[in-house]
Every structure is written in structure tokens, then in C-alpha cells.
Structure 1
Amino acid sequence: MPQTTLQKAPETPVLRPSMPEVNATVPISRSRFFWLRMLGFLGPGFLISVGYMDPGNWATDLAAGSRYGYTLLFVIMVSNLLAILLQSLALKLGIATGRDLAQACREQYSKPVSNALWLFAEIAIAACDLAEVIGSAIALQLLFGIPLIVGVLITGFDVLLILLLQHRGFRYLEALVITLIGTISAIFAIEIVVSHPTWHGLVSSLLLPHAAIVTNSDMLYIAISILGATVMPHNLYLHSSIAQTRKYERTAGGKREAIRYANVDSAIALTLALFVNAAILIVAAAVFHRTGHYEVAEIGDAYKLLSPLVGFGAASLMFAIALLASGQNSTITGTLAGQIVMEGFLNIRLPDWLRRLITRLTAIVPTVIVTALYGEKGTSNLLIFSQVILSMQLSFAVFPLVAFTSDRKRMGEFVNRPWLRYLAWTSAFFIAALNVWLLVLTVQGG
């Protein structure tokens, strides 16, 4: 009797859930009341929104407001709408497939392509962390007179706070972020009131574009900088993961509900980010542009001039506190994104403290060197350079995201509808073109 040779079926590689220590750990209410159910989903959008109000954005908003008044408010509005669209795609990918963007790239692409995307994502996260380190160090210098290089080193210890809060529960991390965002928003609400903006010019600039945006090359450069640096690559990876922290039913109906509530959370949080970014520009326009201080682009200069020009003694102090809150907030999301990117692309797990230490050292080392050699001016230039790096990396996250969410085989019933697919691809190419043009302008100007 001939022997039959049994062939073993090839094993399918198993990917762990995204951030397994917090995946599906946050309970949600089963109440019939919308607002009670909504409370369970509030949080991830706010973690994402801090990337849209990090210290890197402050420089472009200050420059835009001081030099051109309210003119570029429309650009901030458009940037925010693009952010809402792309973050919606990111959270949908995570909830519908149970995979974050990094894991989806690892599954879809060849190893060389996947490794290249991983490298680009790591560069983007390091550049983002660079801006957060510099912003926090500048804030410590303004508030306490701490030398920049010492402030940079101090920021290395805030990773311990992140570890402590995450081990206590993801809700504690979200609570800290929401508290800091509330602090920033309240401070800038007060700053707007005391700066006495011209409300008619403000509203018209927010809703209607000015022809000068495209005819004035200097204004176009700042406009592209705002657009190019608004959507952060690491936020797309992060949102696709932390949207899965909620304990919703992993069924079609449960996912559909989770996507709906997560979109509300994201829209609310990003609208708050719109307010903060617009507020920075409005204060700069109302205080600096109106008084003829057209070249205030550095954070330190804005701090020194704010109180004297406004006539409100606490204005500069509040400005620095908001900057410190912004830097610390962005640190939290940047280090979380670093964990998601490394685990998703490489399918390996490092101890949390080691992953965060790697991310933070990557930012601290070049900042310490530049600060020691060139001082405050060098860190300002490094801050701008970090935003250019972020812009260059963005499309390497956006194009896979749009492709995945437009793939019916991967997304099933949650695939992008035709109108959304066209809008998403148009936005992806639009952002890519803007970032290429920003790079060209930066090289020409440098």
C-alpha cells in the first residue's frame, strides 16, 4: 500500500494586536443615551489633536500673523479640514481591520518596501520629537531662566511620566492630555480677548481666501509651510492604533458604531486644535502686525514683546505656560507613535522604557549639539528644519492609508465610497505637491 505524504500547511505569521497592553481595555457605556456612549469614546482624538498644536506649528503661526495679519487664517482652516479627513481614514482603518497603519504596511508590502516605510516613519517621529524637545526647553528658559542646553536634558525625564500613567491605565494618559489642551485653549482665549483683534477682518479672512496668498511668493511660502506641517505622519499611525483601545464589539455593527463615535471625537478635538492654531495667528496679527512688528517669528521674541504691547502683565507668562503644555503634550503622542511604528513594522516588542528612551535620545542628541554650538538662534533654525523633514515624510504615510481604506478586500463594507475615494486621493496628491513645492522653496531660500 503506497504511503501518502502529508504536507504541512504553511503557517500564517501572527501579528499581535496593536499596543496589546491597552487594546480593548477602555470600557464604553451601553446606555441608550448618545452622550453617555460618546463619553466612552472621547480621548483618542484629543491625543491626536496635540500634534496639530505642537511647538513646530507655533513658529509658522507666529510668522504668518506678525507678517501678514489675518490673511492666512483661511489656510489654517483648509489645513484643519484636510486633517479631519485623513484622521477619519486612519481611525476607520484601525477599527475596521484591527490593524494599525504600520501593521497594514507590513502585511501588504514586500520587506524592502516595508523597511523603507518604517525608516521614513522613524525619521518623521524623530523630527517631531525634536520640535517638542526644543519647544519645551524654550518654555523652561522663558519661565525659569534655565539655560537651553539644561532644559533640553530635563525634557529627557518626562518619558518616565508617560510610563507611569500608561501603566495605571490609558484613561489617565488621555486625562492628562485633555487637561493640558484645556490649559492651552483657556490661555489663548484670554490672550485673544486682551489683544483686541479686528473681528470683521478676522472672520472674513477665516472664511474667504485672499488672492495675495498665491501671488505673493513670501506669503505662499508661509502658507505652504502651514499646510505642509499641519498633518503629521506619526498621527496617522497613532490614530489607527489608539482607536482600538475602546472595548466595542468586534462585529460589523460594533465597528460601525465605533467608527461613528470615533469620528465625532476626532472632529471635536481637531476643531479645538483649529482654535488654538488660529488663536496663535490672531494674537500675533492683533499685537505684532498692528504695531508694525512684522518680523516676529521666533518664540522668544514673541514672549518678550507680548506683555508690553498688549498692556497685560501676565500675557507673556501665560504664553510660556501654554508653550510648555504644548511641548509636554506632543511628547506623549510622539513616544506612543514611536512604539506603534516599531512594533507594527518590525513585529517586535521592546520594553516601553527602552522604546521611549530610543525616541527621546534621537531628538536630544542633535539638539544638545546644535544648542552648544549655535545657541538660541541654532535651535530656532533646527525647529524650522524639523518641520521641513516632517513635510517630506508625510506622503509615505498618506498614500498607503488612502490605498488601504479604498481596498474593498481589506476593508469590506467599510471601504471608502466613490466620492470619498476621489476626495482622499485628490487630497493625497495635493498634499504631496505642496510638500514638494515647500522643499523647493526651502532649498532656494536656504
Structure 2
Amino acid sequence: MTDLFSAAGLDENAPQPLADRLRPKNLTEVIGQDHLIGKDGPIGRMLANKRLASMILWGPPGVGKTTIAQLLAEDAGLAFDPISAIFSGVKDLRAAFDRAESRRSTGKGTLLFVDEIHRFNRAQQDGFLPFVERGVVTLVGATTENPSFELNSALLSRCQVMVLKRLDEFALESLLKRVEKETNSPLPLQTDARSALVDMADGDGRYLLNLAEEVTSLGQVAPLSVENLAKILQKRAPSYDKDRDEHYNMASALHKSVRGSDPDAALYWFCRMLEGGEDPLYLARRIVRMASEEVGLADPSALMVAGEAARTYERLGSPEGELALAHALVHITTAPKSNAVYAAYKLARKAAAQTGSLMPPKHILNAPTTMMKNLGYNQGYKYDHDEEGSFSGQNYFPDGMERPSFYQPEGRGREAPIRERMDYWAKRRAEIARKND
């Protein structure tokens, strides 16, 4: 197997980065992905059956996508041919396919590894299809983005999507032990500082090894405290892209935490998005939306608080205005919940689309002209304020349209008395209808 260090044209005696020296030599050394490469995992079963299918390795940075692809090629007896979608174009793809065709003529298969495969456009992705279908290449693509959004359905139908996990604390600690074995020296870190080093990596094994290499380069020093470690190293930037999958994942987590009445979780995801560089005005809009959709009339003040928090942020900006958003977020999360208005709105829109040609009943139409009066406009209309309980019980839907029921108050918070009034009006409406029959 050609390693990436040799492929770069560097002398084998040149200093190698720690991450390269510790690159696993076989799949059993890959950590944190047993659900895929273990004997009961899908990749493990493929290798046991000596049948390697094309696949997409989807996962965050630094969890072993490239390494797994290299080791799969070795285990399956295939030539490993790596390209990057960032630096490659149509010419490079054609050259890769030509190399694979040439190997095939000599009885040698090819594992074509495409890093950042989502960077290829739709037409370029379509270019893989005939070569995958004919078995010229076994395609292994790597991506940090959701394949269902970024890859053609035709390509996805020919590949299995393997989801790699973010490395947990146990896996990252295992990497640090490998560092100490490789360097034959314990890392000069106090216990809390060692935990802080793991936290800095934020699930990225490659980044952890880079951090550890910086620590080992200090030589023989007294064990570092958390404070001293922070001065030497920089924390990994949060994994967050405002235009891609992480944005929508965290927005979903925030929304569902509010719906689930969990203020701690809502604040956590709110702050995660802020730390990732999200525009606070986007969060302000989300909070207003959630106040309307999730709280509704169970607490009418929620929408007012959310709207005022958004205006406060517009006046104060960051960081002072963000506290007002947090205030509104906790308010709507702890408020009684009802989506009854939201559900009613969707039903009413559907009914309006289906019955859009029906006219209002004549008795509620104004009659400013004699002709309109002769046609029956406004005849029989009852002014509700003059009726018992300010309720006439008349029909306000088009004639011939069966009366629908859109709004069903949940009976929680401020909707409880609304439910009582609507039940009373329904009873009165039925009584009036019987009298008129």
C-alpha cells in the first residue's frame, strides 16, 4: 500500500508528522468505528464475504475516512487511487478511469477514493455511474456533508452510505496512549489538562494528534496545568457551517428542545449556534417563529416577548442583545404549548385552495346598490352585538359548503377558556339551527 507520505514525493527518512506515523496499519487499529468495521458491521461483513461494494463514507473531520479507504483497498487486494474533488476536474477523472481500465485489462481492480466527493457537481457525479456499474472501479467517496442533500440520487442508489461517528472521549484517550507509546514518554499534562486536551479536539482524532504533537515538542517540562495548556494551544473551531448540514441539524435541535419544554437544552443549542458564528438575527427570527408555531394562544404573550427581544437585539446588537434573545427563548420554552392555531392555519389553507371559487353567503355581503339588494345581498343578516350573548350563530361559510372545524384549542394555558367559549358557541349554533329548521 502506498501511504500518503510517500505519495507526496518525500524521502522516507524525512521527519513525519505524528498523525502520519500513527496511521493505522490495518482495520483493527482504527478506533471509534466498530459499528462499521467490526465483524458484525456492514464493512466487516463485506470483507468477510470478499465482496466490497461502492460506498460513501459520511462523517465529521478527523474520524478516519481516508485511512479506512486505504485499508479497504489493501484488504480487498485493490489498487488504491486517491483523488480530491477540491483539486480535480474532468481531466483528472478521465485519467483515473483510464488507469482503472488499464489495470482491469491485467486482472487488477481499483478502489477509486474521492475525498470531498460532494464538491463535484451533478454532471461530474453522473460521470462515475458507468464505471461503477461495469465494475471498472469500486468507488469510495468521503464527505462531511449529508449525502442525501449533496449527491445525485442515481449515484446514491449505487453506493451504500456508511455513517462514521465523531470520536468519543474513550477513543480520543486511546489515541493519546498511542502517542505516548510512539514517543516512549508520557505527555507532560496534569489530569485536568489531559481532559482539556481531549475537549479541545472536539471529536477530531487528527486534530488531537496535532495538538499532542505540539505538547510533545515542548520536551521535558513540568506537567502543564489547564491554564498553561490553553496559552500554548488553540481550541478547535466549532464544527458549524451556516450554509450546510450542521446549520440545519442545530436549528432542528433548538426547535425540538423548545417544543419539548427543555430550557437547558434550548439554551445549549442556541449558544452552540452563536459560538459557530450564526447570525443572531437568524436566531431571533427562529424564536419568533417558534413562539407562534409551538406556543400559540396557550400563552399569547410569548409572541410579544419574542418580537420585543428581536427588536431589542436590533437596537443593542451583540453581545448585549443576545441576552434578550436568551430571555425570550427561555420564556417560550417554559410556556404552555399549543400548535392548534398552526394546525388550523394549515387546514384552512388547504380548504381555501380546494374551494377557491365559492362565493360568501349572500346574507353577509354588503348591498350598497338597489340591484344588489334585489339579488338578496345582506338579507337576513343579524348584527351579532344585538343578539343574545353577542352571538347570532349564523353561517359565514359559502352556501353548500359543509361546515369545517379547523381550530381545536388544546385546553392548556390561555386556550382553556377559549375552548370553553368555543364549546358554548357550538352548542348555541346547534340550538339556533334546530329552531330555524
Structure with the larger helix share: 1
TM-score by length of 2: 0.20
- Higher RCO (CA 8 Å, separation ≥ 6 residues): 1
Higher Cα Rg: structure 1 or 2?
Answer: 2
